[in-house]
Amino acid sequence: MNKKRPVNLDISTISMPVTAIVSILHRITGIILFVGLAFLFYAFDKSLSSQAGFDQVVDTLQNNFLAKFIIWGVVSALMYHFVAGVKHLFMDLGHFEELESGRMAAKANIVIAVVLILLVGVWVW
C-alpha cells in the first residue's frame, strides 16, 4: 500500500455531487418510511379496534401538532422516495446514465420532491 497518498479526514471540506446527495436521501427516506410504518400501523390498529379508537385517532390527527408532523414527515419521505424510485426506473431503461443528464435528473428529482413535499404540508395543515 502506498503510504504517500493524500488523506483528507476533514469531512466539511468534501463536496458531494448532487447525484450522491439524491442517492443518500433516497436511502434515508427508505429508513424513515420503515420507521414511520410503526406509527402508521399503530394508528391503523387503534382505528380498527372500535368506534372510540377511530374517533381518538381522527381527533389526534386533527388537533395534535406532533401527530401532524409525523404524518407530514412520513408522507414527505414517501413522496421523495417515490420520485427517486421513478428516476431509478428511468435509469434502468437506459436514460439519464451520462454524467450531465444524470445531474439534470438529480436536480429535477429534488425540485419535484420539494414541490410535492410543500403540497403535502399544505394538505396536512
Binding residues for heme: 81
- Eight-class DSSP state of 12: G
What is the Cα–Cα distance from 105 to 90, expressed in whole angstroms? 10
CB atoms within 10 A of CB 88: 16
Is the CB of residue 33 less than 8 Å from the CB of residue 81?
yes
Q: Which residues are annotated as a binding site?
A: 81
CA angle 91, 118, 101 (to 5 degrees): 25
- The pair phi, psi for residue 94, each rounded to 5°, is 100, 5
Taking alpha carbons only, the member of 47, 37, 45 closest to residue 71 is 37
